[in-house]
């Protein structure tokens, strides 16, 4: 009688083993595709820069030292790399501001779409997704045409007699921020809309019936329900913004350098591939720390709420 359960157990174990064996080639490809380029970057960060780019296969930790410190050209003393720190801080600051502005613009937009009749929602979503069909380079050039000295805004203001000479909007932090908000806004609208679509609007009506003010309805009813969409959109906006490359170059004119530009500079004109690789890994670690901190924070709050 005990042979039958043992036979079934062995059969289940064999089926599981066969499934793993069949999945092994795909898993290896995914593993190599995900970790292979990263391992190459890590190895490059521990080598010596070549004379004309590339690397020399000589072990060195100088690239990692250069991420955080700079050597004096006379006595080799180390001082904090203030230039790298300021670029990192500017990148984080602009990324946070981009996330905040996309939330402020994306939430009302998503709310507008979610409250439209079902027949017209698809059209509004279609309009939101149109920018994804266009390369980010073209979208950035479109923003450049809007804010340059002879662009749409300055032309309108001058013809209206509101200003005598063009406003200098291009090649500023504000121009970079506007370009990043413009390019990242759809990535905030869509996750928030996905959460709002599941919202039971009878809860909003019930809150109003209980004499809640619009602000309390927003903060106590709507936002807690759509919070996962806001968080997902914030992650989708913050991470690409932190490594932005095209927008700062075109709209910042080289005056507003961000981490992505610094990394590109090291792999290009700087010809210091190990330093570029070390900066890339540092950027990835910063993003991972931010995400892990959020997961731990949200997980702790969720545990307390269920407790």
- d(CA 284, CA 282) in angstroms, rounded, equals 5
Q: Strand 78-80 to strand 69-71: parallel, antiparallel, or no bridges (unpaired)? A: antiparallel
CB atoms within 10 A of CB 306: 6
For 208-265, give the DSSP string: HHTT--HHHHIIIIIHHHHHHHHHHHHHHHHHHHHT--HHHHHHHTTSS--HHHHHHH
Instruction: Read off the DSSP letter of residue 74.
Output: T
Please name which of 94, 66, 98 lies closest in space to residue 80, comparing C-alpha atoms: 66
**Cβ atoms of residues 267 and 41 within 8 Å:** no
Residue 307 pLDDT > 70: no
- pLDDT bin (cut points 50, 70, 90) of residue 60 is very high
Cα-Cα-Cα-Cα dihedral sign, residues 144, 147, 153, 158: negative
CA angle 102, 197, 218 (to 5 degrees): 60
Percent of the chain topping pLDDT 90: 36
Average pLDDT over the chain reads 87
Distances (CA, A) of 149 to 156, 168, 170, 183, 249: 11, 6, 7, 21, 17
* pLDDT tens-place string over residues 134-187: 888 899 999 999 999 888 999 999 998 888 888 888 888 899 999 999 999 999
Tokens of 257: 């350098």
CA angle 266, 271, 273 (to 5 degrees): 65
- d(CA 279, CA 196) in angstroms, rounded, equals 38
Q: Is the pTM of this model over 0.85?
A: no
- d(CA 256, CA 207) in angstroms, rounded, equals 46
């Amino acid at each position: 009688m005990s042979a039958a359960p043992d036979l079934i157990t062995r059969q289940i174990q064999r089926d599981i083993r066969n499934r793993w064996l069949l999945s092994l080639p795909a898993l290896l490809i995914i593993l190599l595709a995900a970790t292979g380029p990263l391992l190459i970057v890590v190895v490059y960060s521990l080598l010596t820069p070549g004379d004309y780019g590339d690397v020399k296969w000589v072990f060195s930790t100088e690239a990692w030292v250069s991420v955080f410190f700079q050597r004096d050209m006379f006595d080799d003393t180390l001082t904090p790399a203030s230039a790298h720190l300021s670029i990192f801080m500017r990148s984080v600051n602009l990324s946070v501001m981009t996330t905040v502005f996309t939330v402020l613009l994306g939430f009302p937009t998503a709310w507008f779409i979610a409250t439209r009749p079902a027949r017209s929602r698809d059209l509004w979503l279609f309009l939101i997704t149109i920018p994804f069909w266009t390369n980010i380079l073209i979208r950035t050039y479109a923003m450049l045409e809007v804010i340059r000295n002879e662009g749409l805004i300055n032309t309108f203001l001058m013809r209206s007699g509101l200003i005598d000479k063009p406003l200098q909007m291009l090649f500023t932090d504000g121009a970079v921020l506007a370009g990043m908000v413009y390019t990242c806004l759809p990535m905030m609208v869509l996750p928030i809309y996905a959460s709002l679509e599941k919202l039971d609007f009878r809860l909003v009506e019930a809150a109003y019936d209980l004499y809640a003010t619009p602000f309390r309805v927003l903060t106590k009813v709507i936002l807690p329900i759509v919070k996962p969409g806001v968080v997902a959109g914030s992650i989708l906006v913050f991470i690409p913004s932190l490594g932005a490359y095209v927008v700062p170059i075109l709209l910042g004119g080289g005056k507003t350098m961000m981490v992505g530009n610094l990394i590109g500079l090291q792999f290009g004109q700087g010809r210091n591939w190990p330093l570029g690789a070390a900066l890339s890994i540092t950027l990835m670690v910063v993003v991972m720390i931010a995400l892990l901190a959020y997961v731990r924070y949200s997980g702790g709050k969720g545990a307390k709420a269920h407790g």
